[in-house]
Amino acid sequence: MARKRPFADLRKRHGGFSIIEVAISVVVLGTALIACSQLLCLATRAGDTDESRAIALSELERKVEMLRQRDFDLLESEERAPLAEASGTDCDIEVTVTQVSQYLKKVTVVIYRQGDSVAEASESAEFYVADCAFPLTRTW
C-alpha cells in the first residue's frame, strides 16, 4: 500500500516561497542596500571635498594677488594661522618668504584644510618677486 504524504499535496496546492528562499532574498537585498548607501555617502563626501577645495583655491589666489601688490621690502613670512571667518571654510594659511638674492625673493603660500585626514598641504603656490629698484649698471 502506498503511503500518502500529507505535506506534498499541500506544497503543490500553494505556490508560495519557503522561509529559506525568503531569508536568502532578504540577505541579498540587504547587502545591495548597504552597498548603495555607502556609495551615496561617498559621493556626498566627495562633493563636500570639491567645494572645500574650490574655496581653498579661491583664498589662495586672493592671498597671492595681495602679496604681489606689496612693496618688495614689506614682503615677510607669516606663521600658519586660520583664514578669516568671512571665507566660510576651516582653513589655515602660511606664507614663507625666502631671500634668494639681494633683489629677488621666493614666496610660497600654503593652504591647509582642517578636514583633511593627512597633515599635508592642501593647496600651494610659489612665485618670485624681484625688486624693481636694483641698479642697471654693470661693473666689470
Is residue 13 pLDDT above 90, yes or no? no
The pTM score is: 0.56
Provide CATH code, domain 17-130: 3.30.1300.30
Binned at pLDDT 50, 70 and 90, residue 98 comes out as: very high
Task: Give CA–CA dist 115/94, Å, rounded.
Answer: 17
User: Which range is least confidently modeled, 51-65, 75-89, 92-106?
Assistant: 75-89
Q: Report, as an integer, the average pLDDT of 8-21.
A: 69
User: Which range is least confidently modeled, 40-54, 57-71, 87-101?
Assistant: 40-54
Measured in degrees and rounded to the nearest 5, phi and psi for residue 79 equal -70, 160
24-40 tens-digit pLDDT: 999 999 999 999 998 88
| Residues 112, 113, 117, 123, CA torsion sign | negative
* CA distances in angstroms from 129 to 68, 74, 77, 108, listed in the order given: 7, 12, 13, 11
Closest CA to 80 of 109, 106, 104: 109
Q: Could you tell me which residues are beta bridge partners of residue 96?
A: 108
